[in-house]
Structure 1
Amino acid sequence: MQDVPLSYPVPWIFIRDHAPMYGLRNASLEPLKHVSLALIGPGSLPEHFPMAMSAGESVWVPIDGDDLARSTTLVVRWRRQNDDEYLWRCVF
């Protein structure tokens, strides 16, 4: 049986300072693959394909919507190099 770590720190920093452009930075020391973004609730996000992000790399996306902080959640999905899949929900 393989040892499974009990915890894994969220590798993301969500940058809200330049709304309606929002940034997502890979703050980990490892490349992440199959990174995708989705919204739960009202708001719009441009369609994009899953991407790979190197350690320290950022991506910027326009996210439009009224009062995103009240009713919308950003969901980030990614895979680590060992192919384990993770989801992170982030509010505005």
Structure 2
Amino acid sequence: MSDASLAYPVPWLLIRDHAPTYGLKNCSLETLKHVSFSLVGPGSLPDHFPVTVNAGDTAWLPIEGDDLARATTLIVRWRRQNGDEYLWRAVF
């Protein structure tokens, strides 16, 4: 098995068009479970429980903060159907 066969593309598309509400669209063909969101930096995100995001669906997040692109990072965690856990960092 080559290393290339182990690659897993990030399934998320960050939608910035409706700020201060941001969307994370699941662009994969599988349901992603135990999806949770957190911020690093001065931005603010309401508390929430982990969610399930079906293929093609979008999770909408109200994120407040001044100049998020300079100092805030969104952290997304999820589990694939096989139980593997992933983490992705996105900037604004």
Shorter-chain TM-score tier: over 0.9
Report the structure, 1 or 2, having the larger helix content. 2
- Number of matched residues? 88
AA of the residue aligned to 1:51: V
- Identity score, percent: 72
Any unmatched runs of 5+ in structure 1?
A: none
The residue matched to 1:76 in structure 2 has which SS? strand
CA distance in structure 2 between the partners assigned to 1:59 and 1:6 by the alignment: 27
2:16 equivalent in structure 1: 16
CA distance in structure 1 between the partners assigned to 2:63 and 2:30 by the alignment: 26
Alignment of 1:64-79 (within 5 A): 64-79=64-79
Any unmatched runs of 5+ in structure 2?
A: none
CA distance in structure 1 between the partners assigned to 2:31 and 2:73 by the alignment: 24
TM-superposed deviation, 1:46? 0.8
TM-superposed deviation, 1:61? 1.3
TM-superposed deviation, 1:6? 2.1
With structure 1 as the length reference, what TM-score do the two structures score?
Answer: 0.93
CA distance in structure 1 between the partners assigned to 2:34 and 2:60 by the alignment: 16
